[in-house]
Chain A
Amino acid sequence: MAEIVLETKGLTKYYGAKPALDHLDLRVPRGCICGFLGRNGAGKTTAIKLMLGLLTPTAGSASLLGCDSTALTPAIRQRIGYVTEGHRLFRWMTIGRLEEFQRAFFPKQWDSRLFAEMIEYFELSKRQKIKHLSNGQRAQVSLALALAPNPELLVMDDPTLGLDAAIRRQFLEGMIELIMRQGRTVLFSSHILADVERVADRIVVIDKGVLRADCPLEQFRASVRKVVVHFENSAPADIELAGLLHFRRSERQLELTLVGVGDAEVADWAARAGAERFDFVEMNLEDQFIEFTASPHRRRLFQWEKA
């Protein structure tokens, strides 16, 4: 059983009367890349800030590397890399000065060669001031600052928001490079599901402050499925099937979106419902995510047919 490097227990955060986060129970094991998914405003940044001790929970607790988040010791902080939302750095500093600053906090573990190589690879100069950098370049500096201390746990809050594909790829490369070292863990929140699919081995899905999934990526991919069921005559209007997320119905077909329903159960149900045959429809991660986080009473945004 792998060691848990990041854990939350009933983590709750209220802003006024509304819960930004509602009883989050999370366990991230060592050695994995964990993708933190959720729609905008779902509570991802709140959760990350709570984990890093920048916010205090209304209820529950969070801990990183075994240490409670509200009391992270300097020794623990030294083992954690953090890429903040928006990559906000000190605008007046040059990249070189920023390196000096950051380095002071990781005296024994700073890899200056790696930092220099990354800056060179990004075609930046240590004499450039942060305020003269584009968003993408600032993100690159942010990544270098986070990887050079060789952190045990890297937490990234939407690191590729608004960045172009090339820079997003660089971030993914950075994550892969880190994960290949012994015992490293990465937690990153993202909207780009294709990126998450490439590098994550676990995903956590948060929806409106509530945890919806915390499992290996393959498990999620295998669990959220669509089945098109064909009926000889008329498709039933009422469906009783555990794990049904939602369905669409046309005259002789039903399209069911299911979660965690095995092949055998589907076959069973289809037989009982009198189906002619059924076919599984493959979905990509983005479609699975959309279906999974859609509200049960969802309609399409635009209605094309009036039937």
Chain B
Amino acid sequence: MRFLALLRKELRESLPWLLLAGLLLLGVGLLAVHSEARFAHMRHQHWSSHSGLGPGEIVNVYDLVRSPHLAWVAMWLAFIAPGLGLVLGVCHFWVPLFARTWSFLLHRSTSRMSILGAKLAAAILGLLISLGLVWTGLYWYACRPGLLPIPEPIQILVVGWIYIAVGLVVYLGTALSALSTARWYTTRIFGLAFAVLAAFVILLQWHPVWIIALMVFAIAILFVQTVAAFLSREF
């Protein structure tokens, strides 16, 4: 009941941004899928095949995938997802600082962890629905028989989801930066810097094991640090 109230509040608060990101992705996606002419010339290039997954090969993704439509959309997603992560992090953790609403929010008949949990859950749900759902929907749509000459491979779907997970990494980094009580802005930015660095490193990998391992590692570290910072911080 209480957790739901917190979750509802966080979701409603960031709804405009979620809608913006989701609609942007949808728009770009539909545009790409229906712009056969635009991408036609690429189909005649020579394709080599790699067995790897590597989002780091996004530059070469036109090699990887037989059809470039969603690859192009995935490039957009590579910016939209971390962007949304950043914006959500700002909404959840920076805005209360400037609006001075932490005092009001923290005096709740629930544990402090719940309050943090609601924010995290809202971010994850937000990313899942506004980006994950739209992206998966686009993939399903693009795979409908007769729409595209060559069906999109499943790998591109996974690539998109990896970008969305990177969005979560950036979110946690933003949160950590906001919660940092360091005086100097250089040290304060550490959380976000770490997240961005981790994102880059992840995106440069091509082996699925490395991608997953680094992702889990980055999220775990950032999560633990964020929880610790939140529970001990003074407001």
B31-39, B108-116, B168-176: which one contacts chain A? B108-116
Asked if B5 is at the interface of the complex by the 8 Å CB criterion, the answer is yes
Q: Which residue of A lies closest to B106 (CB)?
A: A54
Interface bracket on B: 20 to 34
B13 touches A84 (CB 8 A): no
Complex CA–CA separation, A88 to B1 (angstroms): 24
Complex CA–CA separation, A86 to B8 (angstroms): 25
B27 to chain A, nearest CB (A): 25
Q: Which residue of B lies closest to A52 (CB)?
A: B107
The listed residue with most B CB atoms (<10 A of its CB), out of A56, A74, A75, A101, is: A101
B234 touches A74 (CB 8 A): no
Asked if A80 is at the interface of the complex by the 8 Å CB criterion, the answer is yes
A99 to chain B, nearest CB (A): 11
Asked if B235 is at the interface of the complex by the 8 Å CB criterion, the answer is yes
Asked if A107 is at the interface of the complex by the 8 Å CB criterion, the answer is yes
B1 touches A82 (CB 8 A): no
Name the interface residues of B99-145: CB closer than 8 Å to any CB of A.
99-104, 106-111
A interface secondary structure, majority: loop
Complex CA–CA separation, A88 to B95 (angstroms): 12
Asked if A100 is at the interface of the complex by the 8 Å CB criterion, the answer is yes
A179 to chain B, nearest CB (A): 21
Q: Which residues of B contact A (CB under 8 A)?
A: 1-2, 4-5, 8-9, 12-13, 99-104, 106-111, 232, 234-235
- Across chains A and B, which 7 residue pairs bring their CB atoms closest together, nearest first? A104-B5, A78-B109, A84-B103, A74-B109, A88-B100, A77-B109, A82-B107
Q: Which residues of A contact B (CB under 8 A)?
A: 49, 52, 54-56, 74-75, 77-78, 80, 82, 84-86, 88-93, 97, 100-101, 104-107
Apart from the given pairs A101-B9, A104-B5, 18 other A-B contacts in the complex at a CB distance below 8 Å: A49-B235, A52-B103, A54-B234, A55-B235, A77-B107, A80-B107, A82-B103, A82-B107, A84-B104, A85-B103, A88-B99, A88-B100, A88-B103, A90-B9, A97-B12, A100-B5, A105-B109, A107-B1
